[in-house]
Structure 1
Amino acid sequence: MLRAFCIANKRGEILFITIFEPLVTKAIFDPFLSELSSSPHGDPPPFFTKEDHKYVYVFRDDLYWACVVSQNSLTDECGPLLMTESLSQLHQVCSTLCGALTQHSITANATLIMEIVQETMNGGFVQMQTADKLQSCIYSTVVAPKETSALTSVPGLFGIEKSAPCTAAQQSSLAVDSSKRELYVDVVEKVWASVSSSGTVIRAEVNGSIVTRCFLPGNPVLSLMLNTQLSTTPKEGFNTGTRMSEVEFGNGVEIGSGNNGRQLSVMTVPGQEITIARYTLAPDHPHLLPFTLTSSIHSLTPSDSELRLKLTSNTGMGTVSPQVTFKTVAPVSTAAVMSQTSGPRDQVIRFSPEDKTLTWTISQFPGGSYAQAFIRLVDSGGDVSIEAGELEFEVSRWVCSGVRIERVKLNPPVDNLNKWVRYLTTSDSVSIRLS
């Protein structure tokens, strides 16, 4: 039997929690989170005991899926392998029903995940379930945050087009059309960062994955040539390549002995998405964020002040951001705002009087350009300050790591093949201080 279950991020924040025993509280996971932050050699083992609590967890999509097992219960007697497999299965079900999993999508779909957990961990007793069997028991609908929309298989004008995550009920067995021969290779990265008011990156973490999906008859072998080696081994001398702290290759992926290990090969399966590699940039790698935000605030009158924002794109020509949003909280006394913008045409500034949230949204933001916003805060006071804000973005045709696909080859060759190599960077959590 299980005592509790939670989903936590790398910063030790619990995004979702379920308690199965009446006397248990959220504090039962404090030893678990403490062990994660204090472990000297990375993450602790997937099963460990601390302060008389038995913890089992798996690490998926940059999130910890953890549970507390009751002492001397049947689940405890079966061993940790049962729970690691059950947690992996729970993650797969949530990924199928919710789409791409980030801390934003977990929070937005808390009700849906609660239903899934209730079905798969009924009262703390593990139930072996799959997405197709659970679909008839799920009543909640998917909430799709813009930055975590699932990727579709349709090439768009700006690289990867997005749609709301599909549900198990909408999925069906794929019949490969022999007249439609398409291959997709996607490099997708998520960014977490904390930036000072001067623009200096205090801390950043970039997690990426290389994913392929083909619509081809048979099982041709896909070979990719990268511009850099995916390796955690430090190189001697001056090195301008990408430095990784974690690299995990998918099942069946072979690393070529030549070309300095830059060639990766895997057998394709018609219609099935295959993860070729997952990686995390090294902390000492120079993180180039796609945007730089500068701000200033000064007094206009004894009652009003003006906030000036300038957002500069660092992604270069040929790239585009379908949507960029900056959110912050205005001073409590602010009654209304008046705004003026310059730069890209599609800019909107919204103010919510209820929670004083100020939102600046830019659509179709071309790379290498900048946008400015001049916002008058009415009745905010002449001498005020705004501490920080959150930047949310999606950037097509660009990734922070600089990983590129130089060559795509199939063996045996396929005639009349349409190959799509796409790049996408999304924000997971980018906090920027303004003062």
Structure 2
Amino acid sequence: CRSACARQLAPQRDHEMTSEFNAMVTILLTFQVLICRNYKGDVDMAEIDHFLPLLLQQEEEGLLSPAITRGNVHFLWIKHSNLYLVATTNKNSNAALVYAFLYKLVEVFTEYFKELEEESIQDNFVVVYELLDELMDFGFPQTTDSKILQEYITQEGNKLEVAKSKVPTTVTNAVSWRSEGIKYKKNEVFIDVIESINVLVNANGSVMSSDIVGSIKLKTMLSGMPELRLGLNDRVLFTLTGRDKGKSVAMEDVKFHQCVRLSRFENDRTISFIPPDGESELMSYRINTHVKPLIWIESVIERFSHSRVEIMVKAKGQFKKQSVANNVEIKVPVPSDADSPKFKTSTGHAKYVPEKNLVVWTIKSFPGGKEFLMRAHFGLPSVENDEKEAKPPITVKFEIPYFTVSGIQVRYMKIIEKSGYQALPWVRYITQSGDYQLRTNS
């Protein structure tokens, strides 16, 4: 299952990913087909006219499904902005592969047009058709890496220019994500281990849910065609080799970039790969564990009828004293009819954002173990609103460099290249807030 997920991040020409699945790909605006590419001709072009009525019928019945069937034709669809991207097939196709391809379409079009919406499709029909022809051939996914596509399909205004009469060798190489002949004066690899913490705390102060979502991102500036081997303190690896599991991490839902040799990882947990040039995400993972909120919030919100509302918020850094959280933003909801704001803070500054009914308390530097206080005073209208307002949670945004909650570590990075040059790997750890919410009683 992990292998399938990893491969499906970017369909390529390898054996696992070239299963035939698509007859037709269509991009629609509501009730209007914008563009359609029929790859095999075994599904009638008129079939797409049945998609939106079937979708509306499912919405009315409250039984909305990502796959809709009419007779022997299957519609597999996603929605992006105001567009529907629909793959149509009459085979028992690999649904995960179809959806991976549709999301890859969105990614490639966004790389080209910045925003994927009705106008960008209408202004670039020629480019879209050219991309659709390169992304898939007779129902088989082909080159889906936007960096490679941009080598020979370039865009100037609304015109298509073919940059080279010959398709780059990267398209037909086994290593289609990296060009040959890359040279750097100084060979370096920058590794960023970024973890986002998702936390939900109820009004009583109990942690209802928490997990860690991580990713390892690379910025590769290496000459030639190097092979890299990355070692982590992976708990499964430590178990296989009989090492102490105390400082290891159990990763779940691991997904890799297409460059990683999955068979090698499955056999001995070695992350071996030939990297793309420049920036890329090597892998992502999730750690399902109980996380103590790194920035703890206590709040008291007192509302005096027909008069005023007073808010007291206390923030405490529950991480080690040697670390510092940067650019902390604490967003506190206030009643929609509040006015005349007054603030007092022990550090940072607070401002009222009336269009969002929020007080935003900003602290540029928040050391671990410290505690800060913010008080806010708002006036209320003399006539009370009878409608009960929802009670949105307090949300917190922050970033802590040189720190990971899970304890994940890059144990080594080996760089092997036939010329034998020396290269420097640099590692940086960052912890940041994800979906970080604390509910209130008031």
How do 1:27-426 residues align onto structure 2 when only pairs under 5 Å count? 27=56, 30=59, 48-49=67-68, 54-56=74-76, 67-68=85-86, 75-76=88-89, 84=99, 86-93=101-108, 96=111, 112-116=116-120, 127-128=132-133, 132=150, 133=153, 136=156, 178-229=184-235, 241-254=248-261, 263-269=270-276, 271-282=277-288, 285-298=289-302, 303-343=307-347, 347-379=348-380, 387-411=392-416, 414-415=421-422, 417-426=423-432
Cα distance change of structure 1 residues 174 and 229 upon mapping to structure 2, 3 Å threshold: same
Alignment root-mean-square deviation, CA: 4.9
Q: Deviations over 1:288-324 (max 9, x none)?
A: 4432222112368972232111222334244333322
Tell me the distance in 1 between the aligned counterparts of 2:294 and 2:112: 30
> Separation in 2 of the partners of 1:115 and 1:205?
39
Moved more, 288-297 or 406-415: 406-415
Aligned residue for 2:7? none
Q: Secondary structure at the match of 2:407?
A: coil
Residue 279 of structure 1 deviates from its aligned partner by 1.3
Q: Which amino acid aligns with 2:249?
A: T
The verdict on how the C-alpha distance between 1:387 and 1:402 changes in structure 2, with shifts beyond 3 A counting, is: same
Quote the residue 1:11 is aligned against: none
Residues of 1 paired with 2:63 and 2:246: CA distance?
A: 35
Paired with 1:317 and 1:29, the residues of 2 have a C-alpha distance of 54
Whether the aligned pair in 1 keeps the contact of 2:234 and 2:251 (CA below 8 Å) is no
Tell me, in whole angstroms, the C-alpha distance in 1 between the residues paired with 2:213 and 2:60.
26
Indicate the SS of the match to 1:91. helix
Instruction: Tell me, yes or no, if the aligned pair for 2:182 and 2:224 is still in contact at 8 Å.
Output: no
Question: Percent identity among equivalent residues?
Answer: 21
What does residue 165 of structure 2 align with? Answer: none
2:401 is aligned with what amino acid?
S
- Deviations along 1:365-385, one digit per CA (max 9) or x if unpaired, are 33443332111122378x999
Cα deviation, 1:89-114, whole Å, max 9, x if unaligned, reads 3233256369xxxxxxxxxx8x6545
Deviation string 1:342-389 (CA, Å, 9 cap, x unpaired) is 24xxx22111344533222222333443332111122378x9995423
Cα deviation digits, residues 210-269 of structure 1 (max 9, x gap): 2223212223332222123368x9x9xx988534331223334358989x9564222335
Greater helix content: 2
Larger Rg: 2
Paired residue type of 2:367: P
**Residues 1:251 and 1:86: Cα distance change in structure 2 (over 3 Å):** closer
1:337 to partner: Cα distance: 1.4
Q: Distance in 1 between matches of 2:199 and 2:439?
A: 11
Q: Tell me, yes or no, if the aligned pair for 2:249 and 2:408 is still in contact at 8 Å.
A: yes
For the residues of structure 1 that align with 2:53 and 2:205, how far apart are their CA atoms?
A: 43
Q: Do the aligned partners of 2:210 and 2:290 also contact (CA within 8 Å) in 1?
A: no
Unaligned 5+ residue runs, structure 2?
A: 1-23, 34-48, 135-145, 159-178
Q: Deviations over 1:137-190 (max 9, x none)?
A: 58xxxxxxxxxxxxxxxxxxxxxxxxxxxxxxxxxx999663323211111233
Output the TM-score relative to the length of structure 2. 0.61
Would the alpha carbon gap of residues 192 and 362 (structure 1) be closer, same or farther in structure 2, given more than 3 Å must change? same
| Equivalent pair of 2:79/2:85 in contact (CA under 8 Å) | no
For 1:121 and 1:431, the matched residues in 2 are separated by 43
TM-score calculated relative to the size of structure 1: 0.62
* Structure 1 counterpart SS, 2:89: helix
1:158 is aligned to none
What's the secondary structure of 1:331's corresponding residue?
coil
Query: What secondary structure does 1:214 align onto?
Result: strand
Structure 1 range deviating more: 386-395 or 260-269: 260-269
Q: Could you tell me how far 1:405 is from its partner in structure 2? A: 1.1
Q: Secondary structure at the match of 1:93?
A: helix
Q: Which amino acid aligns with 2:231?
A: M
Asked if the contact 1:192–1:429 (Cα under 8 Å) also holds between the matched residues in 2, the reply is yes
Q: What residue in structure 1 maps to residue 38 of structure 2?
A: none
Give me the whole-angstrom Cα distance separating, in 2, the residues matched to 1:33 and 1:174. Answer: 52
SS in 1 for 2:412: strand
How far does residue 85 in structure 1 lie from its aligned partner after superposition?
6.6
CA separation of 1:245/1:227 partners in 2, compared to 1, >3 Å: closer, same or farther?
closer
Map Cα deviations across residues 399-427 of structure 1 (whole Å, 9 max, x no partner): 34332212233235643x44321123344
Change (3 A) 1:55 1:324: farther
> Any stretches of 5+ residues in structure 1 without a counterpart?
6-16, 37-46, 70-74, 99-108, 139-172
2:314 aligns to what SS in structure 1?
Answer: strand
Call closer, same or farther: CA 1:242–1:272 in 2, change over 3 Å. same
